[in-house]
């Protein structure tokens, strides 16, 4: 069966305007809605459509179902001298995250390091833009998030750990180091996309319901995602789960909800850490990253990259050429906006 | 060719005494020498011989060569309100690390979080005991270290990144979560052990000098270790390299020396972070870890473990049964101790 993959290419400004329009119809006030939509469009611009505007319909459904409060404003309260807690009030994630970034940066400037935990905020979207903002400000940034349990433990077969991403930003010239990676071997969205295209999965990404490794995307959907890198990736993802849940007093494992579904209050948490490198110059970091990029390639000839490079190139390209959305997604957005697609 | 692998089984007390005796002959004062040897023996007890007493001859050679100052005492200086810097004075690593743990814990109690960077200290040994100590104290602990460049970047073939381990400790009952993992797919010691046994490497662990994946340990020794988990593990290991080097003002990439060789001053760095979970109860963490351990096994039937479980079981076993050292290593230690093996 041939799979139809018609695309509509749209400028980021046009998606932004349409997204804000859609949220305005859901009674979301303008600055929060703009931060939310911008974060989704950043996902698309950076080649991560799973964190892109395709999440907007779920957000609208969450508002309609009363589990996302579009009017909420996040609040921040101090905890220790160098720590704070942001409460999202069950509103959008990005406004809470930007508040946490601001506070973490201020704490780092004042005390050398700052840690801000976030609870009761919606999905933050891609973490990269937050740590990138800290790095642009001359600070080291780390962000961690829990998410719905989709990953099986090493040696297990039931999804009990989130795909828990980690992001790290380090200032450098001409571009910062920006890592943003999930600790699952593949995203749920990618498995669904493989199923839609009737394509095998890469080996080692998932197990079926009996815990056997599978490359069949439908069997994987009935099973669980594998941790990336085996037992080590499991250990790291689990470590993120524990750190975030303990320090933000949020849920663990299968009790984590509210970023993929449209019906449950959000129970995941997030952490933002900023560190001030102080008087230390970052020139050595920049030189080292340049040496990595210039280092000899593997036998297959692809160039050596540093985390953030591909994302940055994709973003620059999409800002010029536009973002290619599946026609079915774009039609759905047009419908949500009241059918007004100019 | 048959490979002879004769073993001598020795109690941990006996190794401790012999190690302290060896360092006393190298003019190392007693408390520092005891911390150093205890940390090496902990590596052996926990099933990580690459971080065990086999490193002692190199430490002795470093003292003899004047690049490790056995008399040095680490010093600590405040930086920000919640950050500090330990200078190891080119002495042993473990005393500097324990000082950093003490200070990080005090900062976390006072300010919610504390970060202590370490420079000019010898190899810390396994990181697990340090974060375990923080966890036993009710704190979350994170430790990061740089090491000699042995790992090639994803897409590259030259060793330019350390095997940079990360350790995370989280308080829980009955046992804490203790992750301690390198970001290389295999250790250099394991590759050498495979070469000695004329055994193939597991696939995906290393590349040869031309950057081609190899399972031949001798080809791997001429090439580089691969990052664990592909591009993600590379990103994580590189992130650790940058964080540690920037915040401890230590070296990067191929400029990192002094943990494997016997002739160069140490240029690697370390970070210890402690976080106080405050009033938050960790009961949910303990329940979640118990649920993971009780969760259904994969098709192959091995039990589901949590990071730290295997290490803890191995330690308990070795405390009772003793540690089985290769005869050739034990003979070398006996010689270093002046030939007095009772």
- For residues A126 and A48, is the Cβ–Cβ distance under 8 A? yes
Rounded-to-integer distance, Cα A51 and Cα A180, Å: 12
Q: Calculate ∠ Cα B19-B25-B28, nearest 5°.
A: 75
Cβ <8 Å between A181 and B236? yes
Asked if residue B302 has pLDDT above 90, the reply is: no
CB contact under 8 A, A154 and B305: yes
Question: Given the structure tokens 């036998």, which residue do they identify?
Answer: A299
Q: Which two tokens stand for residue B90?
A: 């080119």
Q: Is the pLDDT of residue A1 over 60?
A: no
pLDDT for res B299: 78
pLDDT number for residue A176: 96
Measured at the CA of B53, the angle between CA B47 and CA B57, to 5 degrees, comes to: 150
Question: Omega of the bond prior to A174 within 30 degrees of 0, cis?
Answer: yes
Higher pLDDT, A186 or A301: A186
- Is residue B1 over pLDDT 50? no
pLDDT of residue B2: 45
Rounded mean pLDDT, A304-315: 98
Q: Which of B170, B247, B296 sits opposite A277 (nearest CB)?
A: B247
Question: pTM of this prediction?
Answer: 0.97
Partners of A243 on chain B (C-beta within 8 Å) are 140, 168, 170, 275
- Cβ neighbourhood burial of B167 (10 Å; 0-12, 13-18, 19+): buried
* Average pLDDT rounded to a whole number, residues B255-278: 97
pLDDT value for B308:
97
DSSP 8-state secondary structure symbol assigned to residue B255: G
**Parallel, antiparallel, or unpaired: how do β-strands A177-181 and A166-170 relate?**
antiparallel
pLDDT at B193: 86
Of A155, A236, A247, which has the smallest distance from its Cβ to B275's Cβ?
Answer: A247
| Mean pLDDT, range B37-43, rounded to an integer | 98
B193 lies within 8 A of chain A by CB: no
The pLDDT of B154-179, averaged and rounded, is 97
Sign, Cα dihedral of A244, A247, A251, A252: positive
Looking at chain A, the whole-number percentage of residues with pLDDT higher than 70 is: 97
Nearest by CB to residue B245, choosing from A114, A154, A285, is A285
Distance CA B315, CA A67 (A): 48
Q: Is B328 helix (H, G, I), strand (E, B) or coil?
A: helix
pLDDT of A189: 85
Looking at every residue in chain A, the average pLDDT score rounds to: 95
Question: What pLDDT shows up at residue B267?
Answer: 98
Closest CA to B98 of B52, B36, B41, B147: B36
**Confidence at B142, pLDDT banded by 50, 70, 90:** very high
Query: B224: which chain A residues are within 8 Å (Cβ-Cβ)?
Result: none
pLDDT, residue B28, reads 92
Of B83, B177, B183, the CB nearest to A242: B177
In angstroms, what separates the C-alpha of A303 from chain B's closest C-alpha?
Answer: 6
- CB of B76 within 8 Å of a chain A CB? The answer is no
CA distance A327 to A193: 15
Q: Is B316 on the interface with A (CB under 8 A)?
A: no
The CA distance from B111 to B81, in Å, is 8
% of residues, chain B, pLDDT over 70: 97
- What 3 state SS string does A2-47 have? CCCCCEEEECHHHHHHHHHHHHHHCCCCHHHHHHHHHHHHHHHHCC
CB atoms within 10 A of CB B279: 7
Looking at the annotation, which residues of B are catalytic? 50-51, 190
pLDDT digits (tens, 9 = 90+) for B181-222: 999 999 988 998 899 889 999 999 999 999 999 999 999 999
CA distance B116 to chain A (A): 10
Chain A segment 199-258 residues within 8 A of B by beta carbon are 207, 210-212, 228-230, 232-236, 238-239, 241-243, 245-247, 249, 252-253
User: Is the pLDDT at B13 greater than 90, yes or no?
Assistant: yes
Q: Return the structure tokens found at A28.
A: 């979301």
Yes or no: say if A118 and A94 are a contact pair by the CB < 8 Å rule.
Answer: no
Does any CB of chain B come closer than 8 Å to the CB of residue A326? no
The mean pLDDT value of chain B amounts to: 95
The pLDDT tens digits for A232-274 are: 999 999 999 999 999 999 999 999 999 999 999 999 999 999 9
State the residue for tokens 């989280």.
B170
Instruction: Please say if the pLDDT value at position B280 is more than 80.
Output: no
Helices (H) and strands (E) in chain A, counts: 11, 13
- ipTM given for this complex: 0.97
pLDDT surpassing 60 at residue B58 = yes
Question: What integer pLDDT is reported at residue B332 of this predicted model?
Answer: 95
Residue B281 has pLDDT above 70, yes or no: no
Dump pLDDT digits (tens) for B307-319: 999 999 999 999 9
Strand partners, B233: none
Catalytic (active site) residue A34: no
């Amino acid at each position: 069966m041939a799979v139809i993959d018609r695309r509509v290419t749209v400028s980021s400004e046009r998606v932004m305007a349409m997204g804000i329009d859609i949220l305005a119809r859901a009674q979301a006030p303008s600055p929060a809605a703009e931060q939310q939509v911008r974060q989704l469009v950043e996902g698309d611009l950076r080649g991560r459509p799973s964190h892109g505007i395709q999440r907007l319909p779920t957000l609208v459904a969450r508002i309609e179902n009363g589990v996302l409060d579009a009017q909420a404003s996040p609040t921040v309260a101090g905890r220790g001298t160098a720590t704070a807690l942001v409460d999202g009030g069950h509103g959008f994630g990005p406004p809470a995250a930007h508040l946490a970034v601001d506070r973490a940066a201020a704490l780092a400037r004042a005390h050398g390091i700052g840690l801000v935990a976030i609870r009761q905020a919606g999905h933050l979207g891609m973490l990269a833009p937050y740590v990138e903002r800290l790095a642009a400000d001359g600070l080291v940034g780390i962000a961690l998030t829990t998410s719905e349990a989709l990953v099986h433990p090493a040696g297990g077969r039931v999804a009990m750990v989130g795909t828990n991403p980690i992001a790290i930003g380090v200032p450098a010239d001409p571009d910062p180091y920006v890592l943003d990676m999930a600790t699952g071997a593949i995203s749920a969205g990618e498995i669904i996309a493989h199923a839609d295209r009737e394509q095998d999965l890469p080996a080692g990404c998932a197990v079926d319901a009996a815990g056997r490794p599978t490359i069949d995307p439908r069997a994987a959907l009935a099973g669980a995602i594998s941790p990336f890198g085996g037992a080590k990736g499991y250990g790291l993802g689990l470590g993120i789960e524990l750190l975030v849940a303990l320090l933000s007093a949020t849920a663990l494992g299968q009790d984590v909800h509210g970023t993929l579904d449209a019906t449950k209050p959000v129970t995941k948490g997030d952490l933002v850490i900023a560190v001030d490198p102080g008087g230390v110059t970052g020139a050595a970091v920049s030189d080292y990253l340049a040496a990595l990029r210039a280092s000899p390639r593997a036998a297959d000839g692809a160039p050596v990259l540093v985390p953030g490079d591909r994302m940055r190139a994709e973003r620059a390209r999409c800002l010029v050429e536009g973002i290619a959305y599946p026609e079915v997604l774009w039609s759905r957005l047009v419908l949500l906006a009241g059918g007004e697609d100019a």
